[in-house]
A and B are shown apart, each in its own frame.
Chain A
C-alpha cells in the first residue's frame, strides 16, 4: 500500500496524559499536513511541513500540541496534558507541489478519545 498511513488508528487516554501520533506520507510527497476533525465538521488545519520545516501553524495548535518531521519523511503529532476537548479525529495528508492543481491525499486518521 503506497498511500498515507497513520498509527495508531484509535487511541483512548485519560485526561492529563500525553499521546503521540505518527503519519507516514506518500514517499515522493514533500508536503505534509495535520488536520483535526470533530463530528459534523470538516477537517480543520493544524500545521504544515515542507520537507522537515514546519512552515505554518494554526491558532488551533495550542502550546500543548507539537509536531515534528525530523527527516522530512514521517511526522509525529504530540498532545501533552490531554483534555476532553482534544477528542477528535486527527488526519494527516500529503501532497506533491509540482503537479498542477495538486490535491492532498489523506491517511485513515487517528481517532482520539480523552476520558
Chain B
C-alpha cells in the first residue's frame, strides 16, 4: 500500500461546480497534513494546512479524520484559475520533517 493515496482523477468540472478530493495515508503516527497546489510545470505551493477540527479558507475547506486516516479538500464555486494538480501531503515529523506527497489529483475547470 502506498503511503499517501489520492483519487486518480482527472476531474473535469464546469465553472461554479463544487468538487471534492480525497486522500488516505497509511502511517497512523503522522502528525500534520497539508494540501499543496501545483500548476503545470511549476513548483508545488502550499494551499492550506489541515487541522483536526477542519478549516476553511474562502472557497476551500479541508477536513481531517485521524481515525480513518483520511483527508479531504472541498472547492466550492470552482474558478478557471483553480485548474491545477492538488497534492495531499503528510508530515510524519520524525527526526526530520518526513514529508510524503501523494501522486496528486488533476483538476480542470471548464468554462
Contact = CB atoms under 8 A, between A and B. Distances in A.
Contact of A106 (B44, B49, B95, B96): B44
Interface string B1-20: 00010000000000000000
Contacts of A45: 98-100
Dominant secondary structure of chain B at its interface with chain A: strand
Interface residues of A, number: 26
Interface string A50-66: 10000110000000000
**For B4, B41, B44, which residue has the most chain A Cβ atoms within 10 angstroms?**
B44
A25 interface: no
Contacts of B45: 106
Contacts of A105: 46
B64 to A, nearest CB: 12
Contacts of B89: 42
Interface of A: 31, 33, 35, 40-45, 48, 50, 55-56, 91, 95, 97, 101-109, 111
